[in-house]
Chains A and B, each alone.
Chain A
Amino acid sequence: MKYLKHVGKYFLMLRQVFKKPQKWSVFREMLFREIEDLGLKSLGIIAFISFFVGGVVAIQTALNVDSPFIPKYLIGFATMRSMILEFAPTFMSVILAGKVGSYISSSIGTMRVTEQIDALEVMGINSLNYLVLPKIIATMFFYPLLISLAMFLGIFGGYVAGTLTNLFSSDDYLYGIRLDFDPYYIQYALIKTVVFAFVIATIPAYHGYYVKGGSLEVGRASTQAVVWTSVVIILLNYFLTQMLLA
């Protein structure tokens, strides 16, 4: 019952968010700011993690398929598929849910408890539209780029791991990643990414916006935001996979 109330309130919030911005020039300025805060500033961590995850996946696969009947190019093939299908879109989105989600909910939550949101409203500004819409557009536009980079770096990480450990040859790996390549998989991954980006921008915004109390509650809301964003991403991942691939 309680959850249902939150879901209802969340959708009511979205109705206020998706209004025409009151001033386009201000919207544009906010958008660029958000692209920097929510996107560019996550580039480093996403590049770092995806590179090493790719390396580990390649090594694990190499160690686990240590049988003469299984061809070595399977390592490249498996790394490629798992990076594109799951690790880049889903795993990285969960990481972003932690990093960006806590940032969004604590920054909006702080604005709420220090009455900055009230100050916006008193001026006659639609605070939800002003604060949240640029975040949604920024993440939905930028995360596909970010996740594509993660795919590439993950696969590259696998390649580097192979050359460093000599567990498989780079020729096998390069052959494997080109094997049976289907662009639809990329499409599928990017569709997921866009949906997750929406979730990462809106669920933490919801938690921050409706905070009541002081800094303690802001902290609590930000934890809640990360938990719920991750849960929703994982659930949506399941349904989207079933819908798009099965």
Chain B
Amino acid sequence: MIEVTDLYKEFKGIPVLKGVSTTFEKGVTNMIIGQSGSGKTVFLKCLVGLHVPDSGIICFDGRKQKELDIKEQRLLRQEIGMVFQGGALYDSLTVEENIMFPLKMFADQSFSERMDRVNFVLKRVNLENANKKFPAELSGGMQKRVSIARAIVMNPKYLFCDEPNSGLDPNTATVIDNLIKEITEEYQIITVINSHDMNSVMEIGEKIILLKDGVKEWEGSNKEIFITENEAVVNFVYSSNLFRKVREAYLKETK
């Protein structure tokens, strides 16, 4: 379990996260939703230690992030897989080498064992026949999938995805969403996904946290998100015309 207590982060005097507390359980797809600029990425980067919070506690299964020294932090990070908003693939390495990289760095395996593992995860993200390509030669959706493959290749205990399906067509987006959910359940990973896509939320959001201006406005499941009267949630859901209609129909029906 990851416990976050009263997380506070500011940049040059401007607060971005204003005291966020929550917990993330394993085997469940946790989603952080919120408008652009609400602090989702900053929150995720605080969790993995790329931003140092100004105050607050982040605790990974009993390990308090602040109390770890550099070495312990590196060990913890080897248990983390992260999908960056922009992909962050190593552009001097091919798809295959990108995914193999963490294995080469940390696993004592022979080349063929590593190769098997790489092909396995590539198959898992439905990306075959791209092994020898460079990131610049891939479409956005393919890059996302490589990025996910790289994040899961080490069998992480914690998986963080920053908008894993933004910029993808609805079909591929759903495939990716379900993939993440499957992996989470199969390997009992603690997964946290940033998103502002209502589709994904309805598809896989088992625990949803709504951030607004750096404050946790609401927390609940995708079953509850339609019936809650919370103003921020209603506004967020209603920003999509389709979901406004769906919600209204849903509420009428259940009345």
Which residues in A have some Cβ–Cβ distance to B below 8 Å? 22-23, 25-26, 110-111, 114-116, 118-119, 121-126
Report the bound CA distance from A111 to B86 in whole Å: 12
Is B90 positioned at the interface, with any CB of A under 8 Å from its CB?
yes
Q: Kindly name the residue among A22, A116, A121 whose own CB sees the greatest number of chain B CB atoms within 10 A.
A: A116
Nearest opposing residue in chain B for A121, CB measure = B50
Given contacts A114-B91, A116-B88, A116-B89, contact A122 B82 (CB under 8 A): yes
Q: How many A-B residue pairs have CB under 8 A?
A: 56
B80 engages A116 (CB within 8 Å): no
Jot down 12 A-B pairs with beta carbons below 8 A, ordered by A. A23-B106, A25-B104, A111-B90, A114-B86, A116-B90, A119-B90, A121-B50, A122-B77, A122-B80, A123-B77, A124-B76, A126-B74
Q: Kindly name the residue among B78, B88, B104 whose own CB sees the greatest number of chain A CB atoms within 10 A.
A: B88
Report the bound CA distance from A114 to B216 in whole Å: 28
Report the bound CA distance from A116 to B136 in whole Å: 14
Taking CB atoms, residues of chain A closer than 8 Å to B75 are: 124
Taking CB atoms, residues of chain A closer than 8 Å to B102 are: 123
Contact of A118 (CB < 8 Å), options: B50, B91, B106: B50
Given contact pairs A22-B106, A119-B84, enumerate 11 new A-B contacts (beta carbons under 8 Å). Answer: A26-B104, A110-B91, A122-B49, A123-B78, A123-B80, A124-B74, A124-B75, A124-B76, A124-B78, A124-B80, A125-B74
Report the bound CA distance from A4 to B252 in whole Å: 68
Which residues in B have some Cβ–Cβ distance to A below 8 Å? 45, 48-50, 73-78, 80, 82, 84, 86, 88-91, 101-102, 104-106
Given contacts A121-B77, A122-B50, contact A115 B105 (CB under 8 A): no
B84 engages A115 (CB within 8 Å): yes
Taking CB atoms, residues of chain A closer than 8 Å to B86 are: 114-115
A118 engages B105 (CB within 8 Å): no
User: Closest approach, in angstroms, between the C-beta of B90 and any C-beta of chain A?
Assistant: 6
Taking CB atoms, residues of chain A closer than 8 Å to B88 are: 114-116, 118-119
User: Closest approach, in angstroms, between the C-beta of B141 and any C-beta of chain A?
Assistant: 18
Taking CB atoms, residues of chain A closer than 8 Å to B48 are: 122
A125 engages B90 (CB within 8 Å): no
Taking CB atoms, residues of chain B closer than 8 Å to A123 are: 77-78, 80, 101-102, 105-106
B78 engages A118 (CB within 8 Å): no
User: Closest approach, in angstroms, between the C-beta of B70 and any C-beta of chain A?
Assistant: 8
User: Closest approach, in angstroms, between the C-beta of B106 and any C-beta of chain A?
Assistant: 7
B84 engages A118 (CB within 8 Å): yes
Taking CB atoms, residues of chain B closer than 8 Å to A23 are: 104-106
Nearest opposing residue in chain A for B102, CB measure = A123
User: Closest approach, in angstroms, between the C-beta of B11 and any C-beta of chain A?
Assistant: 11
Report the bound CA distance from A83 to B78 in whole Å: 51
Taking CB atoms, residues of chain A closer than 8 Å to B104 are: 23, 25-26
Taking CB atoms, residues of chain B closer than 8 Å to A111 are: 90
Taking CB atoms, residues of chain A closer than 8 Å to B73 are: 124
Taking CB atoms, residues of chain B closer than 8 Å to A122 are: 48-50, 77, 80, 82
